Amino acid sequence: MPKIVTDDGVEIYYKDWGSGQPIVFSHGWPLSADDWDAQMLFFLHEGYRVIAHDRRGHGRSTQVADGHDMDHYADDLAALTAHLDLSDAVHVGHSTGGGEVVHYIARHGEDRVAKAAIIAAVPPLMLQTDANPGGLPKSVFDDLRAQLKASRSEFYTALPAGPFYGFNRPGVETREPLVRNWWRQGMQGGAKAHYDGIAAFSETDFTEDLRKITVPVLVMHGDDDQIVPYADAGPLSAELLPNGTLKTYPGFPHGMPTTHADVINADLLEFIRS
């Protein structure tokens, strides 16, 4: 399996298919590069080089005990782009991966970057604070940690079967293969990485990162997102980005790159080609 080794000795697994302008995909918590199957195949057939990695502690990457924070996530992504010597790359991040993309560009610069898209992403800040009253209370994230500690397998079944894909909404039929694939990806990763990752995606403030980014960024968010609520995420990120564009999807859930891949892929393609 193709892997790079970071400066602190972590093996990062990645996929690298095709040729042409590179599109680099950063996945959400607690999943893996496999969550981008629908996008990787679509853009490969559109003539792009597609790349996706498993975040440290996730999927097939090393299950280390430490380094599960946005600085390390961004540095690992930078190490991958340097190893592959990418230029003119488009970075696409979903959920936690959207935070990773934003922090990577702000922390490591735009020399290798052409554009970015963040989908149902955690920026600017998920946690409720005095400066962010619309965020979610810390008790919400404490509950996630408690469920993970009590039974990760049960938690990783209930989350995709319910709010992640919107299967808990009236009239929405549960697609069991999606639930099983979510569980598979989650259980492949490490419990410690996933536990620590909750703080990374909920407590990191990306406000200043967003303000630094000058390349075009497409902000894509469903207004029925039950994981990263729309009002305190997508619109605020688009306002903070100097060159950001917000695209809102009525009724779409958090996992819309999977449940509505045809729509998301078409809009990403239009943005990349524009």
- The type of residue at 187 is M
94 is catalytic: no
Active site residue 69: no
Give the residue with greater pLDDT, 1 vs 13: 13
Known active-site residue 260? no
- Catalytic residue of the set 27, 53, 194, 254: 254
Q: Residues 61, 218: contact at Cβ < 8 Å?
A: no
pLDDT per position as a tens digit, 59-109: 999 999 999 999 999 999 999 999 999 999 999 999 999 999 999 999 999
pLDDT tier at 184 (50, 70, 90 boundaries)? very high
At 42 the pLDDT is 98
User: One of 76, 209, 225, 232 is an active-site residue; which one?
Assistant: 225
* 232-248 residue pLDDT tens: 999 999 999 999 999 99
Catalytic residue among 95, 209, 221, 237: 95
Q: In whole angstroms, give the CA distance from residue 139 to residue 146.
A: 10
Decide if pLDDT at 144 tops 80: yes
Query: How much is the average pLDDT of 254-266?
Result: 98
Residues 194-229: pLDDT tens digits? 999 999 999 999 999 999 999 999 999 999 999 999
Q: What is residue 1's predicted lDDT score, i.e. its pLDDT? A: 77
